[in-house]
Amino acid sequence: MILTRKIKLVIVSENQNEGYQLIRNEIREQHKALNLAYNHLYFEHNAIQKLKQNDEDYKKKCSKLQEQVNKKYEEYQKAKDTQKKEKLRDTYNKKKEELYKFEKERNEEARKAYQQVVGFTQQTRIRNLINRECNLMSDTKDGITSKVTQDYKNDCKAGLLYGKRSLRNYRKDNPLLVRGRSLKFYKENEDYFIKWNKGIVFKCILHIRKKNIAELKSVLENVLLNTYKVCDSSISFDNKEMILNLSLNIPDKETQDYIPGRIVGVDLGIKIPAYVSLSDKVYVRKGIGSIDDFLRVRTQMQERRRRLQKSLAAVKGGKGREKKLKALERLKEKEANFVKTYNHFLSTQIVTFAMKNQAGQINMEFLEFDKMKNKSLLRNWSYYQLQTMIEYKAKREGIVVRYVDAYHTSQTCSKCGHYEEGQRNTQEKFVCKNCDFEVNADYNASQNIAKSTSYISDSTESEYHKQKQKVLEDVEKEKNIINEQLSLFDK
Ligand SMILES: [Zn+2]
C-alpha cells in the first residue's frame, strides 16, 4: 500500500543557493519536457492509425466486418420471440468481438511497421526527444518517461481517443519528479536529513503542523529501519517553501481486526449528503455533512466573485485591473475546487466510520447516470467523484467497496422488508405500511444498502433496467396483437 506525506525541506549543504536555483530550473525544464513527451505519444498514435488506414486490404476487411455487425444487430433488434432474441444477441456480440479482435491485430501490426521505420522502442524515442529539447538530470528524465506513459494510458482509458477527454496540459508548477532510490535518509542528533543528487543535502523540517510531528517522526523512523520503502516522489514549492511529497510503500495492513460479515451501508442523499449505518448493529448510525452548510459557503463564494466581476467592469486598465483579474482567477479556482474539497471531507468521514466500527466492507448504490442527475439537484455536484474517493481511501485501509442495485432501496422497510410506494412520507421520514416501523428515511435506505446482496457492476444488471426493458417489450407485444386484430378486421 502507498502512503504519502508532505515534509518541508531546506537545503543545508554548502551549495545552498545553487541548489535552490537548480531545482527551480529543473521544474521549468521538466514542464517543457512533460508537454513535449505527452504530445509526442498522441502524435505517434495518429501516425500509426494513418499507416493502418492506408492499407487497402485492411479497409476492405474492416468495412465488410462492420457491415456484418450492423446486420446482426438489426436481426437481433427485429426478433420478437424472447428465446430467439437471446440467441441473436449472442451472435451479434460474437461478431462484434471478431471486429474488435481484428482491429486489435491490425493495430499491433501497424505499430510494428511504424517501429521499423522510425527505429528504437517508444521509451527510447521519448527519451531522445527530451534529450534533444531539454536540459535535465537523468533522474528527472526517467521520471518524466514513466509519468507521461502512465498519464497517457490513463487518459486513453478515460476516452481520450474518442473525444471524451482532451489532451493533457501540464502545469508550469508541476512538482519535480524525484526517484525514490536517490533520496538517502539519515539521522543526526534527533534531526532527519536527506542526501540527494549533485551533493545537495536537505534537512527535514517537521514542526510546521505541530500535531503531526509525532506521526511524521514515526514514519521517518520506519524509513530508516527500511520497513517503509521510499518510492518515486516529488518536490514542489508552496509560497517559497520547499515541500517533499514523499511517497512510501508500506506493508499491507492485517485485515483480521475487521469483524466478519459487518458491512457499512452508505446512502447518498440531498439534504444529508451521506448517511451511514452498520448491517449488524441498529443503533450505530451517522449522518455525514449537511447541504445547508455546503450551500451557504458556496453562495458566499459566488457573491464574492460577482462583486469582484462588477468592480472589474468599472476599472479600465492598469495595475489595479491586473490585480483584480488575478484575484478573480483564484476565486474561480477555489470555487471549482470546493466540491472536490467537500467530497474529500465526506469520503474521509465515511471510511473512518468503517474503520472505527471494524467493518471490512462498504456497500454503496450503483447510481445510473440519469438517476444520478436526478439525485444531484446541485449544479457541479459529483457523486461519481465522491464514490471514486471512497473507493481509493477504503482500499488503502484494506476495506472492500461493493455496489448494490439501487432498486427500491428507499421504498422498502428495513425492518420487515415490506415494499410499497409512498412509504417515504417526507424527505426525512419513513413509515412502514405493514409493521408501522417509523424511522429516519436516510437511515432506512442505508440499512437496506448495508444488508443488500444484489451486487451489480453494470447498469444493465439492475432491476430498474430490467423492468424498464420488460415494459418496453410488453408495449411491443400489445402493439403486435392490436395490429393483428386490425389486419383481421381489414379482411
Ligand atoms: Zn415494516
CATH number of the domain bearing residue 441: 3.30.420
Q: What is the DSSP string of 377-415?
A: -STT--HHHHHHHHHHHHHHTT-EEEEEE-TTTTTB-TT
Instruction: Report CA(330)–ligand 1 centroid distance (Å).
Output: 52
Q: Which residues pair with 138 in a beta bridge?
A: none
Q: 414 alpha carbon to ligand 1 midpoint, in Å? A: 7
Indicate if 435 and 353 belong to the same structural domain.
yes
pLDDT of 377? 45
Cell of 61: 476487411
* 412 Cα to the center of ligand 1, angstroms: 8
379 in the same domain as 241 = no
Distance CA 253, CA 250 (A): 9
Residues 443, 398, single domain; the answer is: yes
pLDDT at 477: 82
Q: Is residue 313 part of a domain?
A: no
- Looking at residue 150, its pLDDT comes to 94
Tell me the CA–centroid distance for residue 271 and ligand 1, in Å.
Answer: 24
461 Cα: distance to centroid of ligand 1 (angstroms): 27
- Residue 153 included in any domain: yes
CA of 418 to the centre of ligand 1 (A): 5
174: alpha, beta or left? (left if phi > 0; alpha if psi -120 to 50): beta
Q: Ligand 1 mean position to 433 CA, how many Å?
A: 7
Query: Does 104 share its domain with 51?
Result: yes
Q: Which distant-in-sequence residues (6+ apart) come within 8 Å of 398 by Cβ?
A: 1, 252, 253, 254, 255, 258, 360
Last residue of a domain, one of 127, 162, 197: 162
Select from 132, 162, 192 the last residue of a domain.
162
Ligand 1 centroid to residue 445 C-alpha, Å: 13
User: Rounded to an integer, what distance in angstroms lies between the CA atom of residue 124 and that of residue 104?
Assistant: 24
Residue 101 CA to residue 99 CA, distance in Å, equals 5
Q: How far is the CA of 430 from the centre of ligand 1 (A)?
A: 10
Q: Are residues 113 and 144 in the same domain?
A: yes
How many A from CA of 407 to the centre of ligand 1? 17
CA atoms within 13 A on the CB side of 425: 11
Q: Are 444 and 418 in contact (CB under 8 A)?
A: no
Query: What's the domain count of the chain?
Result: 4
Residue appearing with cell numbers 424527505:
427
For ligand 1, the distance from its centroid to the CA atom of residue 436, given in whole angstroms, is: 6
HSE (side-chain half, CA atoms, 13 Å) at 217: 11
* Residue 324 located in a structural domain: no
CB atoms within 10 A of CB 247: 17
Three cell numbers written together for 324: 483584480
Is 192 a member of any domain? Answer: yes
Give the DSSP letter of residue 258. Answer: S
pLDDT digits (tens, 9 = 90+) for 358-398: 999 999 998 765 555 555 445 545 778 888 899 989 988 88
CA angle 158/64/88 to nearest 5° reads 75
Extended beta strands in 250-309, E state: 263-268, 274-278, 285-288
Helix axes 318-356, 383-396, angle to 10 degrees: 50
In whole angstroms, how large is the CA radius of gyration of the chain?
Answer: 29
pLDDT at 211: 59
Mean pLDDT, 10 residues at a time, the chain of 491 residues = 90 94 95 97 94 90 93 89 88 92 92 90 92 93 94 91 89 94 94 95 82 81 91 91 93 71 91 92 89 83 87 77 83 80 91 94 81 50 82 88 89 92 83 93 94 84 79 79 72 56
For ligand 1, the distance from its centroid to the CA atom of residue 160, given in whole angstroms, is 49
Based on the fold, state whether residues 223 and 76 are members of the same structural domain: no
Nearest alpha carbon to residue 265 among 252, 280, 250: 280
Residues 480 and 92: their CA atoms lie apart, in Å, by: 24
Give the distance (Å) from ligand 1 centre to CA of residue 350.
27
What are the cell numbers at 258? 475487521
262, 451 Cβ separation under 8 angstroms: no
DSSP state of 239: T
Say how many Å lie between the CA of residue 155 and the centre of ligand 1: 47
337 domain-assigned: no
Together in a domain, 49 and 189: no
Same domain, 54 and 11: no
Quote the cell numbers at residue 383: 457523486
Domain hosting 484: range is 466-491
129 and 56 together in one domain? yes
Instruction: Provide the terminal-to-terminal Cα distance of the chain, rounded to the nearest Å.
Output: 75
Q: Final residue of a domain: which of 249, 278, 306?
A: 249
**Are 270 and 380 in the same domain?**
yes
Is residue 297 in a domain? no
Grid coordinates belonging to 308: 469582484
- Same-domain pairing of 281 and 408: yes
Residue 448 within a domain: yes
Distance 284 CA to ligand 1 centre (A): 20
Query: How many A from CA of 429 to the centre of ligand 1?
Result: 13
Residue 27 has what pLDDT?
A: 96
Tell me, in angstroms, the distance from the centre of ligand 1 to residue 460's CA.
Answer: 29
Domain assignment of residue 334, yes or no: no
Q: Are residues 34 and 134 in the same domain?
A: yes
